[in-house]
Amino acid sequence: MIPYGRQHIDEQDIEAVVAVLKSGWLTQGPAVDRFEECIRDYVGAKYAVAVSSGTAGLHLAAIAAGVGPGKALVTSPITFVASSNAALYVGGSPLFADVDPATVNMSPDCLRATLARHKNVRAVVPVHFGGLPCDMEAIGPIARDAGATIIEDAAHALGATYPDGSRVGNGKYAVMTMFSFHPVKAIAAGEGGMLTTNDEKIYRHLLRLRSHGINKLDDPLEVVVEAETDGMKNPWYHEMQELGYHYRITDIQCALAIAQFKRLEQFLARRRTLVAQYDRAFADFENLRPAQGQREISGHHIYVVRIDFAKAKTTRAKLMRDLRGRDIVSQVHYIPVPMQPVYRRLGMTPRDYPNALKYYDEALTIPLFYDLTDAQQEHVIGTLKELVR
Ligand SMILES: Cc1ncc(COP(=O)(O)O)c(C=O)c1O
């Protein structure tokens, strides 16, 4: 079976994990700091906070942005449920701004319309779908004018760049950026996430929230009489000044992620080549076209095609089954989040997002990962050519 995505693990990864197991530091050790430094320096941000998953990162970012009861978070309807669930975790309201059909990213015009209707928005979460950065030049001022904090969902976009060539996550357009290291992502930690920011206050807040809300670095303490003896800090003393979480990542995961990070450019280069080969092959296809362009700036997380199933005289369900019969696994990214039962029960109506619905009717994710061979890719292309006519 050719999966739609898969991690690449080699001896260097295994050795790195074994070395950590022998080191005595399984968690809260130096590998966590080192991984944070890798991502911070790579994207060009001032600070990075590693967490147990991208979802945990979004949860903490929503708190840091002030989302909560009576306050809303706007994201794209074409995303993984985690992007909007962050609002629900903190008792806030999730809202959606429809996608631009040409990019499958949040449409700046739809965001403006959403913000005109809702005055209580604290966070805007643009999702760099498939690794393609959103139009942040347009989204930035719209969100800021509404007083909302921008949290980029860059789960797909490690290695992606803005049109000016600088890296996603550098804080140019967003107060916080979240990356994910789930196995199908650019690099794998098993599970894991990272938040980058240039704001020191937010950085310190995220450090506390990641670990139960307990003071970190030189945070001021509230109950000074408990904190000191003879004018010196008591070595055992710590304070939980707000409710935080246990969202720490382990050194084992970070060791794997660092080993993977060393080959990030190699991974991205292969994905870029595969994407160019798909694009060339699909240029003269009938009833099937790539869902996104702007390949030069994308992080190439997934390869999505849009298929006119009616014209091709098939259905997506049948095509996916037929592909499986030829050893090819395909997927759909994503079911529009407002269609999910939890969101319908909140009063969402999927037809309010016509671009998302039209995209969803046509979308299919086909295999894209580092180890996909040219021969396997030709098999995918040839099979699609035969099945989608
Ligand atoms: C767009 C998007 N946002 C958020 C997440 C959540 O990341 P994680 O799986 O690391 O919690 C994912 C992961 O699949 C994702 O694709």
Q: DSSP string covering 210-246, please?
A: HBTTB--TTPPPS-HHHHEETTEE-TT---B-S---B
Q: How many Å lie between the centroid of ligand 1 and the Cα of residue 128? A: 11
* Kind of pairing between the strands at 176-180 and 193-197: antiparallel
Closest residue (by CA) to atom 7 of ligand 1? 54
Closest residue (by CA) to atom 14 of ligand 1? 80
List, in order, residues 6 or more apart from 15 with CB less than 8 Å away.
259
Find where tokens 């190699």 sit.
266
Q: Is 180 in the pocket of ligand 1 (CB under 6 A)?
A: yes
pLDDT at position 160, please?
Answer: 98
153 Cα nearest atom in ligand 1: 3
> What does the alpha-carbon distance between residue 189 and residue 47 come to, in Å, rounded to a whole number?
20
Q: How many Å lie between the centroid of ligand 1 and the Cα of residue 179? A: 8
Q: Give the containing element (helix H, strand E) for 229.
A: strand 228-229
Q: Is 57 in the pocket of ligand 1 (CB under 6 A)?
A: no
Q: Which domains does the chain have, with CATH numbers?
A: 11-261 (3.40.640.10), 264-387 (3.90.1150.10)
> What does the alpha-carbon distance between residue 285 and residue 308 come to, in Å, rounded to a whole number?
11
Pocket test of ligand 1: the residue of 51, 84, 180 to mutate, having most ligand atoms within 8 Å of its CB, is 180
Q: How many Å lie between the centroid of ligand 1 and the Cα of residue 373? A: 26
Sign of the torsion formed by the C-alpha atoms of 32, 186, 77 and 162? positive
pLDDT at position 155, please?
Answer: 98
- Of 306, 304, 312, nearest to 387 (Cα)? 312
Is 111's pLDDT higher than 90? Answer: yes
Is 192's pLDDT higher than 90? Answer: yes
Q: How many Å lie between the centroid of ligand 1 and the Cα of residue 286? A: 32
Average pLDDT over residues 238-261: 98
- Of 302, 330, 303, nearest to 387 (Cα)? 330
pLDDT at position 248, please?
Answer: 98
pLDDT at position 210, please?
Answer: 98
Is 234's pLDDT higher than 90? Answer: yes
Pocket test of ligand 1: the residue of 7, 53, 60, 80 to mutate, having most ligand atoms within 8 Å of its CB, is 80
For 4-24, write each residue's pLDDT tens digit: 999 999 999 999 999 999 999
Q: Are 253 and 29 in contact (CB under 8 A)?
A: no
Average pLDDT over residues 87-96: 98
Closest residue (by CA) to atom 4 of ligand 1? 82
Q: Are 146 and 115 in contact (CB under 8 A)?
A: yes
- Of 53, 36, 46, nearest to 261 (Cα)? 36
Is 43's pLDDT higher than 90? Answer: yes
The pLDDT > 90 percentage for the chain reads 99
- The mean predicted confidence, pLDDT, of the chain is 97
For 120, counting Cβ atoms within 10 Å of its Cβ (0-12 exposed, 13-18 middle, 19+ buried), the class is middle
Q: Is 50 in the pocket of ligand 1 (CB under 6 A)?
A: no
Q: Is 84 in the pocket of ligand 1 (CB under 6 A)?
A: no
Quick count: other Cβ atoms within 10 Å of Cβ 60? 30
pLDDT at position 389, please?
Answer: 79
Is pTM beyond 0.75? Reply is: yes
For 265-313, write each residue's pLDDT tens digit: 999 999 999 999 999 999 989 899 999 999 999 999 999 999 999 999 9
Q: Is 82 in the pocket of ligand 1 (CB under 6 A)?
A: yes
Q: How many Å lie between the centroid of ligand 1 and the Cα of residue 184? A: 10
φ, ψ for residue 327 (rounded to 5)? 70, 25
Average pLDDT over residues 36-56: 98
Q: Give the containing element (helix H, strand E) for 73.
A: strand 72-75
Closest residue (by CA) to atom 8 of ligand 1? 54
> What does the alpha-carbon distance between residue 293 and residue 96 come to, in Å, rounded to a whole number?
23
Omega before 334 cis (within 30°)? yes
* Kind of pairing between the strands at 303-307 and 363-366: antiparallel
